[in-house]
Amino acid sequence: MESRPAETPAPKVYRVGTLTYTRSALLQVMFWMLWGDFFFQLLESIPAALIPLQLRWEGASDTLIGLFSSPTALLAFCLYPVIGMHSDNHRGRLGRRRPFLLWCTPPAVLSLAMLGAAKPCGAFVYRTLAALHLGEHVTQAGCTIAWMGLCVIIFTIFNAYITQVYQYLFVDVIPQEVMGKFIGLFRVVGTLGSIAFNRWVLGPSQAHTFLVYVDIGLLYAIAFYLIVWRVKEGDYDPPPPKQPGQRWKTVKRYFTECYTNRFYLTFYCLSFFFWGSLAPLSFIVFFATQAGQPGYAPTLGLTLAEFGHVKSWTFFIQLPIFFIIGPLIDRFHPIRVGLVGMFLISVSYFSCYWLIHGSNSLLVFWSINQGMIAIYLGAGAALTPRLLPREFYGQYLSANQAFGYMSVIIGPPLCGWFLGTVRDYRYIFILCGACTTMTLVTLIALFIQWKKLGGDKGFRPPVVRAAASAG
């Protein structure tokens, strides 16, 4: 009997939409998306770390620093629904996501450079007003803060498009079956960007503010233009045809579809409470360094460079967790992993309030806290593609982001007012712990609803469409 050669198994093919990848092609796409994330995280570290410091260097109070975030958060809150539907319905030679990355990157980088030059530009504005005999009504510090406000608004507009569209692109080009592993790697690379910023950039930022903004902005632009060039989108179904009175029908359809389903409202509340827990952390630099206010409880008294080194070490604990978390998410589902992470985050925040008394204890207990946050960040990033409908992903994600920005609008001013009242930055950890406890309660409610909708075996994202078509 003639023997037949063993058949070579066909190579694994990965699919997402109309895109198909071999293993090597998928790895290339993941590389470029992760490459962009490293520089994106460098960029995102700037406003969170440097803007409060720039304001404090100009003599701003805690309340003003908190209020400074609200107009930009309100602007993003208004923009995100527009961006979601705009991107979902766009069709062009580059797809529906990459055109926004292409055109919004230059003005975002330019506004960063202007923000880095706030101090000399504020001085120039003040001299100009003085020459016009208007100088007695303003101060140089006030002109600098006003200049910063203008630059932050410009940056917020264009960065909102970039931030949102970049997240939408994940779902369009990364297959669902490897999303957990990709999110784990995505978090690892982003953490490396945070480490790099805090370890090598934060310390010299006071002496070289303009160079820090410009250099990171240019690196960011190069990274995202490489994504536009190297990452290809698939084909999409045509968007719904435009009709007379489309604008108001679109608004009505958006709110009907996104905000009338109990499951999604519960999901959005996760962002509201968790983003709210991040607002007090913008003041932690004042708790750790010598930049605190006179008359407050004593701070830890670190220099800015020392604080940057401590903060960079706290991110190192996240790296192994992000590597481990991807396979766990794919096996146990991100909602279960998120429940564990959120419980541990809440415990660690309250522990930080009682146990941090110097640089060493700050390093130890803040590192533990960051490790717990890593569990939830990995799970939360993978949870969103699992629970939101893929075909309308930008629309529903923007609705979720809008909820998150509601807490960013009201959280920082309230936090600044509260800290100005108690005059002790240590209460940052109590505020964070209270918000994460509410996040945990919401996540438990979401888990119960998810199980009722089918859970592991039968869950399908509920989509409200019929009422919209009637409108």
HSE of 446, CA atoms in CB hemisphere, 13 A: 24
Give the pLDDT band (50/70/90) at residue 4. low
Per-residue pLDDT of 73-122, as tens digits, reads 888 778 877 887 788 888 888 999 999 999 999 999 999 999 999 999 99
For the chain, what is the mean pLDDT?
Answer: 88
Q: Model confidence at 243, in pLDDT bands (50, 70, 90)?
A: low
Between 183 and 103, name the one with better pLDDT: 103
pLDDT tens for each residue of 310-329: 999 998 888 888 888 878 88
Instruction: Name, of 39-53, 226-240, 348-362, the range with top average pLDDT.
Output: 348-362
Residue bearing tokens 């240019």: 218
- Which range has the worst mean pLDDT, 45-54, 274-283, 352-361? 45-54
Cα dist from 421 to 5, 217, 415, 424, 439, whole Å:
80, 37, 10, 8, 26
Three-state SS at 242: coil
CA 290 to chain centre: 28
For residue 467, the model assigns a pLDDT of: 45
- What pLDDT sits at residue 470? 39
Which pLDDT belongs to residue 386?
A: 87
Which residue is listed with tokens 């692109």? 169
Distance CA 250, CA 264 (A): 19
Cα–Cα dist 282/264, whole Å: 29
Supply angle C-alpha 300, 303, 307, rounded to 5: 75
Q: What DSSP element (H or E) covers 90? A: none
Give the per-residue pLDDT at 466: 43
Run of H or E residues at 36? helix 23-57
Q: How high is the pLDDT of residue 471?
A: 38
Is the pLDDT reported for residue 242 higher than 80? no
Cα-trace Rg, the chain: 23
The predicted structure's pLDDT at residue 119: 94
176-190, 259-273, 301-315, 328-342: range with lowest mean pLDDT: 176-190
Query: Does residue 3 belong to any structural domain of this protein?
Result: no
State the CB neighbour count (10 A cutoff) for residue 294: 5
Confidence grade of residue 217 (pLDDT, cut at 50, 70, 90): very high
pLDDT of residue 2: 55
Q: Please give the residue range of the domain that contains residue 64.
A: 16-231+261-456
pLDDT tens, 127-142?
999 888 776 778 999 9
**Residue 362 has what pLDDT?**
96
The answer to whether residue 94 is domain-embedded is yes
> In whole angstroms, what is the distance from residue 227 CA to residue 211 CA?
25
Contact 201, 216 (CB under 8 A): yes
Q: Render pLDDT for 297-312 as a digit per residue (tens, 0 to 9).
A: 999 999 989 999 999 9
The more confidently predicted of residues 253 and 106 is 106
Copy the structure tokens of residue 202.
């934060």
Amino acid symbol at 153: I
Q: How many domains, in total, are found in the chain? A: 1
In a domain, 461, yes or no: no
Give percent of the chain above pLDDT 90: 53
Label each residue of 256-325 as H, E or C: HHHHCCHHHHHHHHHHHHHHHHHHHHHHHHHHHECCCCCCCCCCCCECHHHHHHHHHHHHHCHHHHHHHH
Q: Give, in degrees to the nearest 5, the angle at Cα 315 between 310 and 318.
A: 150
Tally Cβ neighbours within 10 Å of residue 235.
Answer: 10
In a domain, 397, yes or no: yes
Chain position carrying tokens 């110097």: 358
- Would you say residue 256 lies in a domain? no
The CATH number of residue 179's host domain is 1.20.1250.20
Q: Average pLDDT for residues 165-186, to the nearest whole number? A: 85
Angle at which helices 23-57 and 98-116 cross, to 10°: 30
In this structure, is residue 250 part of a structural domain? no
Between 438 and 171, residue with greater pLDDT = 438
pLDDT of residue 5: 58
* Distant-in-sequence, close-in-space partners of 31: CB < 8 Å, separation ≥ 6: none
Q: State whether the Cα torsion 295-300-301-304 is positive or negative.
A: negative
Average pLDDT of span 273-295? 89
Q: Output the pLDDT for position 176.
A: 82
Q: How many residues does the chain have?
A: 471
In angstroms, what CA-CA distances link 424 with 286, 296, 349, 407? 10, 6, 16, 22
**pLDDT range class, residue 268, cuts 50, 70, 90:** very high
Task: Please say if the pLDDT value at position 8 is more than 70.
Answer: no
Model pLDDT for residues 364-405, shown as the tens digit of each residue = 999 999 999 999 988 988 898 889 987 788 788 888 988 888
239 is a domain residue: no
Cα–Cα distance, 195 to 179 (Å, whole number): 24
Token pair 């469409």: residue: 465
Nearest to 174 by CA among 459, 393, 395: 393
Task: Report residue 106 as tokens.
Answer: 């230059």
Q: Whole-angstrom Cα distance, residue 62 to residue 57?
A: 12
In a domain, 242, yes or no: no
Task: Tell me the pLDDT band of 9, cut-offs 50, 70 and 90.
Answer: low
pLDDT at 469: 42
Cα gap 189→201, rounded to integer Å: 17
Residue 173: what pLDDT? 93
CB-based contact 224:162 (threshold 8 Å): yes
- pLDDT band at residue 245 using 50, 70 and 90 as cut-offs: low
